[in-house]
Amino acid sequence: MKKLNINDVIIKPLITEKNSRLTADHSTYVLEVHPDATKDDVKRAVEYIFAKSNAKVKKVNIAKVKRKAKKMGRFDGFKKGFKKAYVILSEGVIPIYGADGVEKEKKSANKKGLKIIDTEKLMKEAEKDIK
């Protein structure tokens, strides 16, 4: 087994209705992870990558999703299988839905001297010009 880079452990968040309910009710996040990743790898990666949002992992559960048969016309094939991790946080958040992360990015971008365009303000001005 080769050593994984900490940035390669988490592939993407899995966002479904069920996973959104888990996040809202139980502070549980579901992530697609590298097939060779272990629970310790996932814990270290989440705490390292989301350190700014003070994410502290309480528990990690891992499940493998098997590949499924798929037909497309007369062709047979498979949907790929993957490994997913259920990450339960004791404190902090993982900003995967954007609302929390966008506000923080706006504040940090202003500190860097970048100009942020307010689209809502532009739309209101455009409506006034049309009328």
Task: For 80-99, write each residue's pLDDT tens digit.
Answer: 999 999 999 998 888 876 54
The angle subtended at Cα 58 by Cα 53 and Cα 62, nearest 5°, is 105
Please choose, from the candidates 2, 23, 46, 44, the residue with its C-alpha nearest in 3D space to the C-alpha of residue 98. 23
User: What residues does 33 pair with on adjacent strands?
Assistant: 10, 83
Q: Are 85 and 42 in contact (CB under 8 A)?
A: yes
What's the confidence (pLDDT) of residue 97?
A: 67
Average pLDDT estimate for 98-102 = 49
What's the confidence (pLDDT) of residue 118?
A: 65
What's the confidence (pLDDT) of residue 128?
A: 75
Predicted TM-score (pTM) of this structure: 0.70
What's the confidence (pLDDT) of residue 113?
A: 53
1-94 CATH, one of 3.30.70.330, 3.30.70.1400, 3.30.460.80, 3.40.50.720: 3.30.70.330
Cβ-in-10-Å burial (0-12, 13-18, 19+) of 18 comes to: exposed
Average pLDDT estimate for 57-66 = 96
What's the confidence (pLDDT) of residue 126?
A: 72
The residue extents of the domains of the chain are 1-94, 98-131
The angle subtended at Cα 93 by Cα 87 and Cα 96, nearest 5°, is 80
